[in-house]
């Protein structure tokens, strides 16, 4: 079985206190610091144990002409002039970006598979098991995990390396994903690797 870590939207716009979009992390600085720490630990663990990392980012043209504004999440991106490709906000948060030689996938919808090269990259890596983490739990994580399960991947979600602007939405999304994925914390995932 080939395992791949899919890291979703560890970008400044949703991770940094100065980001324009607050859907990724609640305003609580302690929560933000814990998420950044857990995400960094997860990425380091994957690299240390030979698990390939695929970093997924969302970004749009400066004029947002490529944003399909059919739902609130995308209308909010346009209204906030957020996630502009090449801007600080669309860059990966310090310490959470890809390393040389790792795959980076850009997408423009809620589900990271839709209209992107994610499936192709996972085929290149011969993935059949995905470890998924990112922000926000109730949007890109939830939809990408559901799609991955439909596509036949075994999926594990690292709960404490995910977050939402609303803690209740984070918790309910994790509970919903238990129907299609294993949902564990980082310590349990690390222990499972050590035991293997």
Model confidence pLDDT, tens digit, residues 87-143: 999 999 999 999 999 999 999 999 999 999 999 999 999 999 999 999 999 999 999
For the cut 80, the answer to whether the pLDDT of residue 82 exceeds it is: yes
CB 159 within 8 A of CB 152: no
pLDDT of residue 196: 77
> What are the structure tokens assigned to 88, written together?
């600080």
- Contact in structure between 131 and 4 (CB atoms under 8 Å): yes
Q: What is the pLDDT of residues 22-73, one digit of tens each?
A: 665 666 667 888 999 999 999 999 999 999 999 999 999 999 999 999 999 9
User: Which residues, listed in sequence order, are joined to residue 132 by a DSSP beta bridge?
Assistant: 6, 157
β strands within the chain, DSSP E: 3-8, 53-58, 103-107, 129-134, 154-158, 182-184
User: What's the number of CA atoms in the CB half-sphere (13 Å) around residue 146?
Assistant: 15
Of 14-18, 143-147, 151-155, 180-184, least confident by mean pLDDT is: 14-18
Residue 154, strand partner residues = 129
CATH number where 60 lies = 3.40.50.850
CA angle 112, 35, 128 (to 5 degrees): 40
User: What is residue 195's predicted lDDT score, i.e. its pLDDT?
Assistant: 86
Tell me how many domains the chain contains. 1
pLDDT of residue 1: 83
Q: Which domain holds residue 108?
A: 3-195
Is the whole model's pTM more than 0.75, yes or no?
yes
């Amino acid at each position: 079985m080939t395992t791949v870590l899919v890291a979703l939207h560890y970008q400044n716009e949703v991770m940094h206190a100065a980001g324009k979009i607050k859907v990724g992390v609640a305003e609580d600085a302690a929560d933000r610091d814990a998420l950044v720490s857990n995400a960094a630990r997860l990425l380091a663990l994957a690299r240390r144990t030979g698990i390939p990392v695929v970093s997924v980012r969302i970004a749009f043209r400066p004029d947002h002409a490529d944003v399909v504004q059919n739902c609130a999440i995308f209308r909010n991106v346009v209204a906030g002039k957020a996630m502009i490709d090449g801007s600080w906000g669309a860059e990966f948060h310090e310490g959470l970006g890809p390393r040389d030689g790792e795959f980076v996938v850009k997408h423009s919808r809620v589900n990271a598979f839709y209209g992107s090269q994610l499936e192709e990259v996972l085929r290149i890596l011969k993935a059949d098991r995905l470890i998924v983490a990112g922000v926000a739990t109730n949007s890109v994580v939830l939809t990408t995990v559901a799609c991955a399960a439909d596509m036949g991947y075994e999926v594990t979600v690292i709960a404490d390396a995910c977050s939402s602007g609303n803690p209740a939405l984070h918790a309910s999304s994790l509970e919903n994903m238990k129907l299609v994925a294993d949902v564990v914390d980082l310590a349990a995932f690390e222990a499972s690797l050590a035991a293997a």
